[in-house]
Amino acid sequence: MTNQPGSGDPARLSVRGIAKRFGSITAIEEVSLDLHRGEVRALCGGNGAGKSTLVKILTGVLPPSEGRLEIDGKPHVFRNPVDAQRAGLTLVAQELSLAPDLSVHDNLWLGHAEAPFARRTARSAALAREALDAVGLEATGLDVKAGGLSLAERQLLEIARGLVRNASVLILDEPTATLSEREIAKVFDAVRRLKAVGRSVIYITHRMGEVYDLCDSVTVMRNGRIVTTQPAAKMPRDRLLELMIGRELTDVYPPSTKPPGTTMLEVSGLTAPGAVEDFSLQLRAGEIVGIVGQIGSGATESIRALAGLVHDARGEVTIDGERLRLGAPSAILKSGIRFVSEDRATEGVFLDMPARTNLVATRFPEVSSAGYLPPARLGRIAGFLARQVGFDPSRLNLAAGRLSGGNQQKLAIGRCSDRSAPGVILMNEPTRGVDMGARAEIYQTLRRLCDEGNAVLLASTDLEEVVGLVDRVVTMFRGRIVSIHERGSFAETVILSEITNAREAA
Amino acid sequence: MSVASEISPSPVQSAKERRMTIPSPPTLAKLLAAALLVGLALSTPGFLSRPSLTALANAMSLVGCVALAMTFVTLGGNIMSFSLGATASVTGIIFMALLGHGFVVAALAAVFAGIVITALQGAIIGALRANPIIVSLAAYALLIGLTQIVVGPKMDAPNLDYQFLKGRIGGIPISFLVFAGAAVLAQLVVTFTRFGHELLLVGSNARAAEAAGIHVTRVTVLAYALAGALTAIGGILIASRFGSADMQTARGFEYTAIAAVLIGGTAIGGGRGSMIQTFIGMAAIAVINALALLQGFSMEFQRLTIGLAVLAVVILQGLGRRN
Amino acid sequence: MRNIFSEDHRAGTVFIIVGLALAAALAWQGTASPQFVLFSILQYFATVAPVALGLGLTMIAREFDLSVGSVMSLAGCIAASIGAADPVTGAVAGILGGLGIGLLQGLIITGLGLSSISVSLGVLMTAAGLAYIVTGNLTVSLDRPELSAAINAPILAIFSWRSLLAIACVAVSAVIFRWTRVGVDLVATGSDRAAARTAGVRTERIVVAVFTLSGGLAAASGVLLSYGLSVASPSGLTDVLVPAISAAIIGGVSLAGGRGSPMGIAFGTLILCLLNAGLNALGISPTAQQVILSAVLFAVAITAAPRFHRLLAR
């Protein structure tokens, strides 16, 4: 049942020629779309397509470099998120914007432009209750602390906040990533209710089923531009898949040239309480294995556990036959395992330090003799490593914080390359925040490292990347491995359905 | 219809990276201030006289050792320690108390005590990631109280074994030579040892350092231990200067010490800086104080000037990072 | 089985127990009349509570105002210097000075995106310096015995104007915190700054407000303390930073922000005052009390440390 918007209405939201540039890097350009009352629009596209930049502009977090925005025919300029909120645009973010120490009621009214001065009134409580009921949180009390809710409940809470704000356009960013079928149904109900009262929804997702079950139309973005906008009924499934995954880019992924060698890493029964359960895997020299799953699937956490960063992780992990002690990063590093974090800024890169220092940060034990470590020695090593990963040596003295995401990631990977002693490289989200060109270089570096005898185990939420790059795919859902696929038997739709635990027709 | 998609090229070297060679306004401001100071110093009558310079050297060396100690704390990302002044006093008292057994024994005991006092704090901070400010405040309170009870308010020198520290070599006060020597040694540690490199990384980003396999706890404890040793050296110098040790003389030294560290250019958040910079910062403070005195300003303005200088440096550092 | 050192109750539980034990010791000693004991507890409360409240509020916002101690003594010095001629003007000047310094701090921190610890360190040293200049490096005597008597005169046997003002500050803050939007926004600002901003909270205004308040409260405490003792000293009449931090953390404020409340802070201050009175009653010397207080602060720092639970898990 689709709601055909009348052709005479001014669009609820009209975007014309929006572009955003950061210095000489263009994030998005020539973005135009019209959203009508009561329309649910799917917004699809891979990592780096520009969706989040567009959303930030729509919600007033970033100003556009070019372009116009109109709501119900009236032009608007958003100077901050409050302006966007007042204009009726609200975001239900993937990284939730709830204050964990505040109650449900307070979170619903947090930052509301027209919130009452008193913390709570009869009216505010009533509206809060109404919104909660509308999204299916009838059982949740107004005074429960948000930090104690499950991920799914928090997701619904965020949607409820949009209702409290009387939003005319809600932007939902992958709201069902971590939800069960029943909870997804609740979210769908909530969205349909919004539509029934004339609100518009932009629904960001990469799940095919949702596009067709829920949405009226779909917009696909790629490389910062809109590729197409069409009614869902007129878009065949495989066409959409092709647009989202982009077959022609697979020549960016270098294939493996050698058969895998001996087993380097053996994982048995790895468990991280609350995140991963009974994870078992064997990793052989020369191969790239990709763990794919959504947020909360345990993919990222398994990698972190293997890197020694989860202090209560348990399980049997042996590398080259030797048992590994989990929970201590320094011990892990000694046994030849290297780790590239998904959170570069907090955990991977030393932003104040020059690139040179970043490259050699893990090297100190090997290159110092009895504690003595002259800077010149480090400089030479840095130069060598920079060339290994395609990092411009003339930029070695720049502070890492000033480099692009791609270059920062090269530094993180450069730390891991060491021709003398092949080891296991663990990576989380290897190309998050990295532009296409640098990605290609990183993929080539990874493949070369494997050809030299290393083994790479990476976790990623980017389906396209995993499918294109790796030799074996491990799918995870809710902390457990669903299955392991060998190259040659990757079917994107099968993998997609496994990580979302949905039964979808291919 | 095939989707025409271009792989966008690698980003052109961004404008920011090209700008590295032009000094930013905050750096210009600092250079200007330094030039002003030097100019003022050279033009003030009496500044370059021997008594004035000797007094300057003496004034620098006492607090200077504590400033070097503070640098180890700050570089590691722990901002500052409020207990260093009290530690200097306590180690001075221990030194005087044991002087009867000879200079060497007394000095070693004092240094050992300094190391233990601060290393324990370092262990709590490093292993538990406890808040370094609060731990140092607690240590400060503990030291003040305990010393009062155990030792009493003052400890006079039992003999004159320490007198040589008040002497001079070639006209330069020995205490200054000790300070300068300590600065050089400390700088060598920071630049040429694995510990030094790791300390800077921990200060820059402790989580990333841990993920890179650095033993954050060990590095923190060692940094604090070295700080304790340097503080003890300062305590010995202070006690020797006056022939007796008490809890009052070094009171508040940590404030001047952190001022020296910051004015010298070390980042308050850690990860950037050096001992030589602290040495220069200490010199700047001593020069400002000496000039103020020579120009006829009363003592009170010293504290205000130093405080304003710290504020200015913090603001400039912050602005510099935003660029 | 819930660990007694669980998130919300860590430091507080231990010290409630200690505090109560000492209260019992007090009751047992019985040398002084209960009214007098309560009076002296509340007098100490009047000194520490406003400062702890201001500092605690900045901590709830996930910032830290190191300068409260020197602002307190500076305000006392300003008030005493002017107050000899005109006490009301002196008091107003001192408090306005505190508010002004706090406002400036807040603006610098939010306007330039700086760390509050480093800025408040600079302000701490500057304010201390100003105190020396204002008093000419001397202890200023107010010489208004009738004023100090009036400020410290017992009201209803256990209160005084000082303690009533402190209680009023706590009460007003508690009401605003618990019953208005400002309290919600404050907790959100400290709990998750980024989330709060995304949700639309004006976090910068909150930070500026909280620092202004912290300066004003510290100044108020300093002014009244100086008037009450009829003297002001640039080096400070009492070390207040350590008790203020202890009181806040005992009262449930977390260094990580987002937790705690004015009532909790007041409670923590009371515990501290009880400790102080109890130790006095037991005849323990002030120096020994210093040692005990430092042990309290150590325990607080250790139990509030992020990795403390790992130590327990071993």
Confirm whether C26 is domain-assigned.
Answer: no
* Residue C283 lies inside a defined structural domain of this protein: yes
Cβ-based neighbours of C285, under 8 Å, separated by 6 or more:
B149
Q: Do C290 and B301 touch (CB under 8 A)?
A: no
For residue A303, name the pLDDT band (cuts at 50, 70, 90). very high
Element (H, E) at A277: strand A276-284
- Domains contained in chain B, CATH given: 50-322 (1.10.3470)
Whether residue A378 contacts residue A456, with contact meaning beta carbons closer than 8 Å, is answered with no
Q: Higher model confidence: residue C21 or residue A347?
A: A347
Whether residue A362 lies within 8 A of chain B, CB to CB, comes out as yes
Q: In total, how many domains does chain C have?
A: 1
Q: Which domain holds residue A372?
A: 250-500
| pLDDT for B199 | 95
Residue in A342, A362, A381, A392 to test binding to B, most B beta-carbons within 10 Å: A362
Lowest mean pLDDT among A71-85, A329-343, B12-26, B283-297: B12-26
Instruction: Please tell me the distance in Å from A348's CA to the nearest CA on chain B.
Output: 5
pLDDT of residue A505 exceeding 70: no
Q: In this complex, do C119 and B314 lie within 8 Å of one another by their Cβ atoms?
A: yes
Give the pair of three-digit tokens for residue B162: 């320490």
- Neighbours of C (≥3 Cβ pairs closer than 8 A)? A, B
Query: Is the Cβ pair B141, C297 closer than 8 Å?
Result: yes
Residues A316, A203 share a domain: no
What is the predicted pLDDT for the residue at B6? Answer: 22
Q: Residues of A at the C interface (Cβ-Cβ below 8 Å)?
A: 61, 81-82, 85, 91, 93, 95-102, 106, 109-113, 115-120, 161, 311-312
Residue A8 domain-assigned?
no
From B116, B126, B96, select the one nearest B239 (Cα to Cα): B96
Calculate how close chain C gets to B303, using CA atoms only, in Å. 5
Chain C residues close to B145, C-beta within 8 Å: 287-291, 293-294
User: Do residues B130 and C304 touch, judged by C-beta distance below 8 A?
Assistant: yes
Count of domains forming chain A: 2
CA distance B115 to chain A (A): 20
Residue C3 lies in a domain: no
pLDDT given at position C314: 56
Element (H, E) at A317: strand A314-319
Render the burial of C126-140: b for 16+ CB within 10 Å, e for the rest: bbbbbbbbbbeeeeb
Residue C51 lies in a domain: yes
User: Is the same domain home to A231 and A262?
Assistant: no
**Whole-angstrom Cα distance, residue B271 to residue B207?**
13
Whether A189 and A266 share a structural domain = no
Q: Which long-range contacts (CB under 8 A, 24 or more apart) does A332-335 make?
A: A332/A306, A332/A307, A332/A308, A332/B213, A333/A308, A333/A362, A333/B212, A333/B213, A334/A365, A334/B213, A335/A423
pLDDT at C191 over 60: yes
**Lowest mean per-residue pLDDT among A471-475, B28-32, C238-242, C262-266:** B28-32
**A124 and A65 both lie in a single domain:** yes
Instruction: Determine the Cα–Cα distance for residues A432 and A449; give it in Å rounded to an integer.
Output: 20
Those residues whose C-beta lies under 8 Å from the C-beta of residue B234, and which sit 6 or more positions away, are B62, B63, B64, B65, B66, B69, B88, B250, B253
Tally of CA atoms within 13 A in the half-sphere of B251 that contains its CB = 7
Are A211 and A300 members of one domain?
Answer: no
Note the pLDDT of residue A1.
35
Instruction: Choose the most confident range, by mean pLDDT, from A310-324, B117-131, C289-303.
Output: B117-131
Percent of chain C with pLDDT over 90: 39
For chain B, say whether A77 makes contact (Cβ under 8 Å). no
Closest CA to A53 of A215, A171, A155: A171
Three-state DSSP at A402 gives helix
- Confirm whether C164 is domain-assigned: yes
Chain C partners of B310 at a C-beta cutoff of 8 Å?
121-122, 125-126
- Rounded mean pLDDT of A228-238? 86
Q: How confident is the model at residue B23, as a pLDDT?
A: 59
Q: Strand pairing of B154-156 and A276-284?
A: unpaired
Q: In this structure, is residue A59 part of a structural domain? A: yes
Burial (Cβ within 10 Å: 0-12, 13-18, ≥19) of residue A143: exposed
Hey, are the CB atoms on B314 and C304 less than 8 Å from each other?
Answer: no
In sequence order, what are the residues at sequence separation of 6 or more whose Cβ sits closer than 8 angstroms to the Cβ of residue B293?
B299
Cβ atoms of B231 and B95 within 8 Å: the answer is: no
Q: Check C291 against B300: CB less than 8 A apart.
A: no
Residues A263 and A409 in one domain: yes
Phi and psi at B88, nearest 5°, equal -60, -40
- Residue C314 placed within a domain: no
CATH number of the domain within which A162 lies: 3.40.50.300
Gap from C50 CA to chain A (nearest CA, Å) = 24
Record: contact A102-C197, CB cut-off 8 A: no
Strand B168-169 and strand B172-173: the pairing is antiparallel
Query: Which residue, A185, A211, A245, sits at the end of a domain?
Result: A245
- With respect to residue A387, please indicate whether it lies within any of the assigned structural domains: yes
Is residue A118 in some structural domain?
yes
Contact B196 A332 (CB under 8 A): no
- Co-location of A82 and A45 in the same domain: yes
In C112-165, where do the E strands start and end?
Answer: 140-141
* B269 and C CB contact within 8 Å: yes
Q: Which residues pair with A171 in a beta bridge?
A: A91, A202
Contact between chains at A252 and B7 (C-beta distance less than 8 A) = yes
User: Residues for chain C: how many in total?
Assistant: 314
For residue A20, being part of any structural domain is answered with: yes
Q: Tell me: do A234 and A302 sit in the same domain.
A: no
pLDDT the model gives residue A418: 67
Q: State which residues form the domain around C193.
A: 12-20+34-304
Q: Indicate whether A115 and A214 sit together in one domain.
A: yes
* A81 interaction partners in chain C (CB closer than 8 Å): 197-200
What pLDDT was estimated at residue C6? 38
- Which domain-ending residue is among A229, A245, A261? A245
> Does the distance separating the beta carbons of B146 and C291 come in below 8 Å?
yes
The reported pTM is: 0.82
Residue C1 domain flag:
no
**Residue of C129, C249, C302 with shortest CB distance to B124:** C302
Mutate to test the interface with B, among A28, A350, A413, A444 (most CBs of B within 10 A): A350
Rounded Cα–Cα distance for residues C67 and C55 (Å): 9
| Alpha-carbon dihedral B141, B145, B147, B152, rounded to 10 degrees | 140
Of C180, C187, C194, the CB nearest to A102: C187
pLDDT of residue B279: 94
C101 touches chain B (CB under 8 A): no
* DSSP type of residue C86: -
- Listed in sequence order, the residues at least 6 apart from A31 whose beta carbon sits closer than 8 Å to its beta carbon are A15, A17, A18, A19, A50, A54, A67, A221, A225, A226
Question: Does residue A304 share a domain with residue A160?
Answer: no
Contact B5 A249 (CB under 8 A): yes
In this structure, of A20-34, A304-318, A327-341, the range with the lowest mean pLDDT score is A327-341
pLDDT (average), residues A52-66? 88
**DSSP one-letter string for B148-211:** HHHT-SEEE-SSSTTGGGG-EETTEEHHHHHHHHHHHHHHHHHHHBHHHHHHHHHHH-HHHHHH
Per-range mean pLDDT, top range of A488-492, C167-171, C200-204: C167-171
A118 DSSP assignment: B
The phi, psi pair for C206, rounded to 5°, reads: -60, -45
- Strand-pairing partners, residue A472, are A289, A486
**DSSP of A177-244, one letter per residue?**
TT--HHHHHHHHHHHHHHHHTT-EEEEE---HHHHHHH-SEEEEEETTEEEEEEEGGGS-HHHHHHHH
**pLDDT at residue C187 is higher than 90:** yes
Residue C30 to chain B, least CA–CA distance (Å)? 27
Query: Which of A282-291, A396-405, A429-438, B117-126 bottoms out in mean pLDDT, i.e. has the lowest?
Result: A429-438
| B272 neighbourhood in chain A, CB within 8 Å | 352
pLDDT tens figures, A346-390? 788 898 888 888 888 887 877 777 778 888 888 888 888 888 888
Domain boundary among A226, A245, A264: A245
On whether any CB of chain C is under 8 Å from the CB of B133, the answer is: yes
List subunits contacting chain B, requiring 3 or more Cβ pairs under 8 Å: A, C
> What is d(CA B168, CA B54) in angstroms, rounded to the nearest whole number?
10
Q: Which of B205, B210, B272 sits opposite A329 (nearest CB)?
A: B210
Taking only Cα atoms into account, the Rg of chain B, rounded to an integer number of angstroms, comes to 22
Same-domain check for residues A129 and A204? yes
Mean pLDDT of C264-286: 84
Q: How many CA atoms lie within 13 A of C271 on its CB side?
A: 30
Q: Which residues of chain B neighbour A333 with C-beta distances below 8 Å?
A: 212-213
Strands (E), B205-320: 244-246
Same domain, A219 and A278: no
pLDDT in tens, chain B (323 residues): 222 222 222 333 334 444 444 556 667 777 787 788 888 877 777 777 778 888 888 889 999 999 999 999 999 999 899 999 999 999 999 998 888 888 899 999 999 999 999 999 999 999 999 989 889 999 998 998 888 888 777 777 777 777 777 778 777 888 999 999 999 999 999 999 999 999 999 999 998 898 888 899 999 999 999 999 999 999 999 998 888 888 888 888 988 999 999 888 888 888 889 999 999 999 988 888 888 777 777 777 888 888 888 888 888 877 776 65
Instruction: Give φ, ψ of B153 to 5 degrees.
Output: -70, -25
User: Which residues contact residue A340 at a Cβ distance below 8 angstroms, ignoring those fewer than 6 apart?
Assistant: A348, A409, A412, A413, A415, A416, A425, A426, A427, A428, A430
CATH of the domain at C196: 1.10.3470.10
Tell whether the model's pLDDT for residue A425 goes beyond 80.
yes
Q: Which of A131-135, B169-173, B257-261, C264-268 has the lowest mean pLDDT?
A: B169-173
Q: Which of C287, C291, C309 to mutate to test the interface with B (most CBs of B within 10 A)?
A: C291
Give the residue with greater pLDDT, A276 vs C237.
A276
Which amino acid is present at A195? K
Distance in Å, alpha carbon of C115 to nearest chain A alpha carbon: 16
